[in-house]
Amino acid sequence: MDYPQIAQQILQLVGGKENIINFTHCFTRLRFQLHDNQTANREKLLQTEGVISVVEGSGQYQVVLGNKVTKVYEQLVSFVGDVKRNNQTEPKLSLAVKILNAFAAIFTPIIPAIAASGMLKGILAIAVMIGNYYYQTDIKSYNTYTILHAASDAVFYFMPIILGYTAARVFKAHEFISMIIGATLCYPSIVNLMTSNTEVTLFAIELTKASYTSSVIPIILAVFILSYVQRFLDYIIPEVLKIIMVPTFSLLVMIPATLLIFGPIGIYIGEFINWVYYYIMGVSPILLGAFIGGVWCILVIFGAHRAIVPIGINDVAQTGHQSLLAFAGAANFSQAGAALGVFFKTKNKNLKTVAASATITALFGISEPAIYGANLRLKRPMVCAVICGALAGGLMGWGGSYGTAFANQGVLTIPVYAEAGTKAFLCYLIGIGFAFFGSCIMTMLVGFNDIANEEESKTIQTSSSQPLTNDTTILSPVAGEVIALNQVKDEVFASGSMGKGVAIYPKAGEIFAPADCTITVLYPTLHAIGLKLDNGIELLIHIGIDTVNLQGKYFQSYVETGQHITKGSKIVSFNIEKIEQQFDLTTSIIVVNSDQYKHIDYCQLTHVSNNDNLLFIQV
């Protein structure tokens, strides 16, 4: 089958790239949003090789292709390119979400530099401790230390310049003008003026004295305002003068405005954020530590942790130390420990390799491989890590642990937390130790559903998959009301074009394996499941109509594609009450390879449980 040619024909027959607003696919069909459905040629689409049916519904133009849909979709993407992204309207977001997204976008590019600087600070702290304890030498007086310390501190000291650049990219302002504003705030003469005992004036107006080196909020506010000033100047200044006059007037307007208005406002906002954080800590440092230690890696999964990183950076700028990453360190070490528990417990060679590598990277402050490669994938280790991280974070909160730099949470930066004092440092050490070893032991005790080795899986499938030679029955995979397939309100299934079968309206939101089988397909949105029974029968279980639009919401899976499971194993669960508020939950059970069997019929019961006979297959 020539998939590129099929994709090209479909593209042409739906009206071409120009007629497409958006397109995606589900388990069986391409789903188009078209500017004009009438432009599409339904009759010729139905004659196209591989096309089973064409359906219009839910605001979509659907081309049904069965199990060939993924390959055709991939070819379509190569032909259509960026049309989906270019034509999509941006979702409406609340002001709070927009602010968090902006902060995340501003700080994300500089996280590696901040992490590297923190690691360097940790290494220098270790060197200072070794020099003091073993050689009775203060290496801080050496030029080498001074130079390396400058390298570790530069990203924080010149933060306004760096943030000027990243904020300009987010707010679409001139990058280098923004950096000049940041550099002005860090300029030695300005720093000296702001720290002097004399009054500082600009145009005979007294300035609010503040230290802008290492500051965060003032430059972000300034660049945000600059973006509007720049647009206004672009609008009023003639084209021939823009290249010189727009930057000039931008500086003439924004430097005074920043020092007189937005700089002080930013400092006050930073102080307020710092006050709120420490007020919460004052109410209950244990709960704050437990909360951050528990949820930090959950925030990592959604990328939301980057939106609260500025709190720690601002904390360092305001007070010279931070506790946010101390608590987050509990989460990192717990992820490392859980991954180590997976390493000891699993018999899967590939997973063992992934878990070992993820343990090491998490110990050095990078938790994503442990989260995605092992813990979240297996679920229970993730729960163990969250519990141990929360307990460890609570201990650190009780002990008052904090770091003197915004340093990555790993073994090399442990000395950064030593200056907090004996009790605080001991609580930090005990906390990360408990997080690591506790989550490791807990993971080994609680266990998880291990993933079989590929060789074992192949052996199981080869030895157990026998062609059907006698008539057989198939149990219902779901409990509910039996409905004839031709009564389903989906033309694709009702017509039998996907194969013969039956439908059930579920009364319990659980799908079970009707026999020993292999999961051949588990669609990411979890609304469609492909099974190959050990006797060779291939089943499609399609939960609801148009439930693909939920994007997996209200669904939960218990298996993985390629996994061999036994009769009665739970495959997917779903929230009936939530889903049926929006969609028809009629679930179609289709024998995909119906043409290989003489006759297929379904039971005459009006209701079935998942232990009742549902389909009868005659060879």
Q: Looking at 26, 297, 388, 427, which residue is catalytic?
A: 26
- Tens digit of each residue's pLDDT (9 = 90 or more) over 530-580: 999 988 899 999 999 989 888 888 999 988 888 899 988 999 999 999 999
| 199-203, 284-288, 415-419: range with lowest mean pLDDT | 415-419
What integer pLDDT is reported at residue 89 of this predicted model? Answer: 46
d(CA 302, CA 317): 27
Q: Confirm if 314 and 267 have CB atoms less than 8 A apart.
A: no
Query: Which sign does the torsion angle of CA 245, 247, 249, 252 carry?
Result: negative
Give the residues across from 511 on adjacent strands. Answer: 572
d(CA 421, CA 110): 30
CA atoms within 13 A on the CB side of 609: 2
> Coil, strand or helix: which one is 317?
helix
> Coil, strand or helix: which one is 556?
strand
> Coil, strand or helix: which one is 9?
helix
More confident residue, 105 or 463: 105
Q: Confirm if 582 and 589 have CB atoms less than 8 A apart.
A: no
Confidence of residue 361 (pLDDT cuts 50, 70, 90): confident
More confident residue, 296 or 611: 296
| Amino acid present at 268 | Y
Q: What is the pTM of this model?
A: 0.55
How many other C-beta atoms can be found within 10 angstroms of the C-beta atom of residue 576?
Answer: 18
Architecture of domain 3-87: 2-Layer Sandwich (3.30)
Query: Does the structure show a pLDDT above 70 at 274?
Result: yes
Share of the chain above pLDDT 70, in %: 90
Mean pLDDT of 42-62: 78
Mean pLDDT of 475-495: 90
Query: Does the structure show a pLDDT above 80 at 459?
Result: no
> Coil, strand or helix: which one is 481?
strand
d(CA 526, CA 424): 46
d(CA 528, CA 522): 6
Query: Does the structure show a pLDDT above 80 at 394?
Result: yes
Query: Does the structure show a pLDDT above 90 at 102?
Result: no
What CA dihedral angle connects 163, 169, 170 and 173, to 10 degrees? 100
d(CA 417, CA 326): 8
Query: What is the gyration radius of the CA atoms in the chain, in angstroms?
Result: 31
SS (HEC) of 428-451: HHHHHHHHHHHHHHHHHHHCCCCC
- What is the overall mean pLDDT for the chain? 86
Alpha-carbon distance values, 151 to 45, 180, 419, 450 (Å): 64, 21, 20, 46
Domain parsing of the chain, residue ranges: 3-87, 158-274, 284-446, 460-618
Mean pLDDT of 38-54: 83
Q: Confirm if 289 and 395 have CB atoms less than 8 A apart.
A: yes
Query: Does the structure show a pLDDT above 70 at 92?
Result: no
d(CA 67, CA 25): 11
What per-residue string of b and e applies to 1-37 under the rule 16 or more CB within 10 Å gives b? eebeebbebbbebbbeeebbebbebbbbbbbbbbeeb
What CA dihedral angle connects 567, 573, 577 and 581, to 10 degrees? -110
Mean pLDDT of 343-372: 84
Confidence of residue 457 (pLDDT cuts 50, 70, 90): very low
Mean pLDDT of 290-316: 78
d(CA 599, CA 618): 5
Query: Does the structure show a pLDDT above 50 at 458?
Result: no
d(CA 450, CA 524): 20
Mean pLDDT of 428-432: 96
Q: Confirm if 535 and 467 have CB atoms less than 8 A apart.
A: yes
Q: Confirm if 529 and 523 have CB atoms less than 8 A apart.
A: yes
Homologous superfamily of the 460-618 domain (CATH): Glucose Permease (Domain IIA) (2.70.70.10)
The token pair that represents 309 in the structure block: 């990183």
Which has the closest alpha carbon to 514: 588, 587, 570, 449?
A: 570
* Phi and psi at residue 579, to the nearest 5°: -70, -40
Give the ranges where 568-615 is alpha helix by DSSP (H).
576-579
Give the residues across from 38 on adjacent strands. Answer: none
> Coil, strand or helix: which one is 549?
helix
Confidence of residue 117 (pLDDT cuts 50, 70, 90): confident
Query: Does the structure show a pLDDT above 80 at 500?
Result: yes
What integer pLDDT is reported at residue 106 of this predicted model? Answer: 86
Same fold, 3-87 and 460-618: no
The token pair that represents 382 in the structure block: 């993730």
Residue holding tokens 């499971």?
565
How many other C-beta atoms can be found within 10 angstroms of the C-beta atom of residue 135?
Answer: 9
440 is catalytic: no
Confidence of residue 62 (pLDDT cuts 50, 70, 90): confident
What integer pLDDT is reported at residue 126 of this predicted model? Answer: 83
Which has the closest alpha carbon to 536: 610, 442, 472?
A: 472
d(CA 168, CA 177): 9
Q: Confirm if 366 and 339 have CB atoms less than 8 A apart.
A: no
What integer pLDDT is reported at residue 456 of this predicted model? Answer: 47
d(CA 196, CA 167): 30
- 276: region left, alpha or beta (phi > 0 left; psi from -120 to 50 alpha): alpha
CA 32 from chain centre, in angstroms, equals 26
| H helix or E strand, kind and range, residue 2 | none
d(CA 503, CA 483): 5
d(CA 375, CA 368): 10
Give the residues across from 30 on adjacent strands. Answer: 25, 63
Share of the chain above pLDDT 90, in %: 44
What integer pLDDT is reported at residue 258 of this predicted model? Answer: 96
What integer pLDDT is reported at residue 97 of this predicted model? Answer: 66
Mean pLDDT of 491-510: 89
- Tens digit of each residue's pLDDT (9 = 90 or more) over 125-174: 889 889 988 888 999 999 999 999 999 889 889 999 999 999 999 899 99
What is 502-536 written as a DSSP string?
EEEEESSSEEE-SSSEEEEEE-TTSSEEEEEETTS
| 170-184, 218-232, 309-323: range with lowest mean pLDDT | 309-323
More confident residue, 5 or 350: 5
DSSP 8-state secondary structure symbol assigned to residue 466: -
